[in-house]
């Protein structure tokens, strides 16, 4: 008796199809890890800039004369840039020592900003996500550069939840904010139709299984 019950209700292919559809439509998978704030991303970009400059300086040079031209908008990156050089084994000087030839590094940040790309869903009824494109650009000059002033543009592209954007931005720093594009028309139009169709299919499968 027990085997017949199990065979009839638990191992019918229609039952598996019912469960499969339920999981896909109502519990879409979420593969996105905890996200950084927009300012945290910019800090990461300045880390990448420092690592790039540091790779051009001989490892035997332990001291650098650092000049930062960040302007009022980007002065918050100053300590992070200095800290990154220190973590890379450099001692930072703000003025040359008497009788010593110290390599110099002059960094200019011309601009920084974030842009949001097209909105999409994680699954048919999942959370809205959007691409985030964060960029810093400017130029730098350092003692060991044979080509003089060097331009840089460092970009990071990742994905964030639309509902989290307000908490990721910082009102005190306008460059950390950007306009959010609207949801694509077809996505908003198709969702109710898909929901109705899915519900109808689930009901049909349910009664089909019950009738057997």
- Least confident among 11-15, 46-50, 116-120, 131-135: 11-15
Helix 78-87, helix 38-55: angle, nearest 10:
50
pLDDT band at 206 (very low <50, low <70, confident <90, very high): low
Q: What is the pLDDT of residue 150?
A: 95
Q: CA-CA distances (angstroms) from residue 75 to 72, 140, 187? A: 6, 16, 41
Phi-psi category of residue 53: left, alpha or beta, with phi > 0 → left and psi -120 to 50 → alpha:
alpha
| 74: pLDDT strictly greater than 80 | yes
Mean pLDDT of the chain: 79
| 130: pLDDT strictly greater than 90 | yes
Q: What is the pLDDT of residue 146?
A: 79
Q: Are 141 and 149 in contact (CB under 8 A)?
A: yes
Question: pLDDT exceeding 90 applies to what percent of the chain?
Answer: 54
Q: In the CATH hierarchy, which top-level class contains the domain 36-183?
A: alpha beta
Q: What is the pLDDT of residue 145?
A: 78
Running DSSP on this structure, what letter comes out for residue 16? H
The string of DSSP codes covering 67-79 is EEE-TTTTGGGHH
- Least confident among 54-63, 140-149, 170-179: 140-149
| 116: pLDDT strictly greater than 70 | yes
For 142, counting Cβ atoms within 10 Å of its Cβ (0-12 exposed, 13-18 middle, 19+ buried), the class is buried
Helix (H) or strand (E) holding 49: helix 38-55
| 203: pLDDT strictly greater than 90 | no
């Amino acid at each position: 008796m027990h085997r017949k019950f199990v065979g009839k209700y638990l191992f019918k292919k229609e039952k598996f199809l019912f469960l499969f559809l339920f999981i896909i439509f109502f519990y879409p998978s979420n593969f996105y890890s905890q996200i950084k704030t927009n300012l945290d991303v910019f800090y990461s970009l300045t880390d990448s800039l420092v690592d790039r400059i540091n790779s051009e300086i001989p490892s035997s040079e332990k001291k650098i004369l650092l000049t930062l031209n960040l302007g009022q908008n980007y002065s918050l990156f100053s300590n992070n840039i200095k800290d990154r050089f220190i973590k890379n084994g450099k001692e930072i000087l703000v003025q040359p020592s008497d009788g010593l030839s110290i390599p110099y590094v002059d960094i200019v940040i011309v601009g920084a900003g974030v842009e949001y790309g097209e909105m999409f869903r994680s699954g048919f009824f999942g959370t809205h996500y959007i691409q985030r494109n964060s960029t810093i650009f400017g130029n730098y000059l350092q003692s060991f550069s044979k080509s003089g002033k060097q331009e840089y543009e460092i970009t990071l592209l990742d994905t964030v939840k639309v509902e989290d954007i307000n908490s990721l931005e910082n009102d005190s720093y306008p460059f950390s904010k950007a306009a959010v594009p609207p949801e694509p028309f077809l996505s908003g139009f198709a969702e109710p139709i898909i929901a109705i169709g899915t519900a109808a299919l689930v009901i049909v499968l349910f009664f089909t299984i019950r009738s057997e």
